[in-house]
Amino acid sequence: MLFREVLFADYQTVLMHFIMSMAVALLFKEMNWFPFVSYTDKWHIDETAPFDMQTDRLTERLLEVTDRSGAYTVRLEWHPEFDPDGGFHVFLFKKTEYKLEVFGTVREDVVISNLYHKDTRDFQQLRRYLEECIYLVNLLSTDYVKWKEKFRGKTVTEAPYLYCLVGNIVNYRLYGEDKEPRKGVKVFSAGTKVYCFPPLWGDGYESIKVIGKPKDSAKLITVIIDAKHVTNWRLQKVYNSYVVRTMLGNGGWKMKQEAKAIIENMVKWLPERTEQAGI
């Protein structure tokens, strides 16, 4: 009788673990994913158990979802692998394919860009990070007008932000050999807020790519201006979907913690670059 009770208890334990494994396997499929071409789910982590009791489940690749175009991949990893003191790492990668003709020969190349990286040990935070990635894939892969109609305000409770270098156009710039004071710059009015890209070419950040509202329109545009015509340099969290889309899709700031440190360093020396008339 005792032997039967032990067998029954073992059976219940096995059944419970099986049900739990099936539940966690479906955990991410219930999320509102974008249309995907591949979905690989190796998640077997029990949210109710300590990490040090399931180290064999803390594998490097836990989840990988690639959108229908093949350009964007959301990946969930555990680092260091099998280490209970590690954590979840969520990435969003963009694959860009290039064709270059060199001396009559066409060469194909693929560049993988890391657009997003956040880490956590909290399950609720993990789910939020994955929801942010889904939001970003929809934002980046959909025509912006259609995206606003279909997705804005519907996929996440709060839109994800990126750290961005921000400034304002000087009141008066010095123009020509005679240093004639002129208000604002050709494209932007004085005081216009501009979202500044990171350094994109090797000129010491003298000419910079920015996003801002021009004098004759309420719509944001992207142009290149002189850094010396920008003042009030600062670090800012940016939620604006157009700015986020433009930055992530065109070599701008990424949703990565190191971006904050880079910008914090830049705002220390950029004020010395500003040149304006004292009027």
Q: Show the tokens assigned to 118.
A: 């956040």
Domain boundaries, the chain: 2-150, 162-273
> Which pLDDT tens digit goes with each residue over 8-35?
445 554 444 444 444 444 557 678 889 8
Pairwise pLDDT comparison (19 vs 241), residue with the higher score: 241
Whether the predicted pLDDT of 36 surpasses 70: yes
Whether the predicted pLDDT of 182 surpasses 90: no
Q: Show the tokens assigned to 136.
A: 């970003």
In percent, how much of the chain has pLDDT > 70? 86
Whether the predicted pLDDT of 263 surpasses 70: yes
Tell me what pLDDT residue 100 has: 78
C-alpha–C-alpha distance, residues 145 and 218, integer Å: 16
pTM metric for this prediction: 0.84
